[in-house]
Structure 1
Amino acid sequence: MNSKVKLILIYDGKDEEEIGPALVTWATEVIAQRAEFECCLLEPTHLVGGPLDDDQPQRREILRHLARADAFLILASERSNGYSAKLKAIIDKVAIRLQARPVAFIGYGGESGGMNAIGQLRQVVAGQHAVPICSFVTFPSPWTLFDECGVLRLQDQARLPMARMLVQLNWWARALKIAREQKPYELVNQYQ
């Protein structure tokens, strides 16, 4: 299987400190250096509000990418020891596309680096019949990690956990794709 894993990066948009967009940029740059992934960044404003099957060109493009997705990466900021309502709304919109696909996480915020948000989101995506990946990347106190231009200061320290996570994500994406091709998950799920 030589084809690239189609990876969808989901995030909940801008935050007050502009850390989310900086982390999205960092993550997409790291993923772009890996030959096994084709990464698609979905604009969150196109996912929230209104049905996902609208006849708008942006929504058709989103549906096309989601239909081809092999794996997901969710960037989650921690707010009040949990994830944001906007991120949950996005996950709810794409829930059917998550089924039988792996989901990895990058968390940021607070002293935990988003661990509380990731822990809760792992349960959310498992409830959608997705496979949460064990490895993850966290950024504790992220406002101290970026310079004035929005560049991550200690990039090498974050690259190793990111590499571990992407190796696992790649393996699970390929394994689950083979399983879905042998028997579509819709047929497995119909007996519930």
Structure 2
Amino acid sequence: MKADADRGERGRDETPEERADRRWQELVQEIRVVQTGVQILFGFLLTVAFTPHFQQLSPTDRTIYTVTVVLGSLATGALIGPVALHRVVAGRRLKPHAVVWASRLTMIGIVLLLATLVAALFLILRVSTDDTAVPWIVAGVLTWYLLCWYGLPLWVRIRHTDGSAPPPRDGGEDEARGGRPG
């Protein structure tokens, strides 16, 4: 029984420290994807205020812009936060705790990125299209983001958490790398 308890999550033979190292590496890879996107978006948003067209925006659009920039800044902070957290606690045998807190910061950053993207889309569409269609378009895109970022992952998590479902045999990770499935 003790050997089974020491195997770690999902039947891996790893110590708590090895698990923390693996989870940290996975988290860092995930952060790289969202960090790049939020930094590009935030950089773009910062330049908008210095364009001639910005001066012609209505007060409402300027408010939407300000909220969008603040959201982008908050998302950037949350997604860079895990790096600072790791630097501050490195070498203190706190990696399992750092992974938990970095994961929380990353989820907060993803939620803030979602809000930033929706606000930016809302602003851009208000400025460039018919106002009556904008809420419907933004609602559709928001629904898509929610399905891709939360709906599908939660559905997969719920469906496969009990361990009874076999791993995918068509296009799974092993096949994508050229290996044998399952």
Higher relative CO (CA 8 A, sep ≥ 6), structure 1 or 2? 1
Higher helix share: 2
Q: Give me the TM-score of the superposition, normalised by structure 1.
A: 0.32
Q: Give me the TM-score of the superposition, normalised by structure 2.
A: 0.33
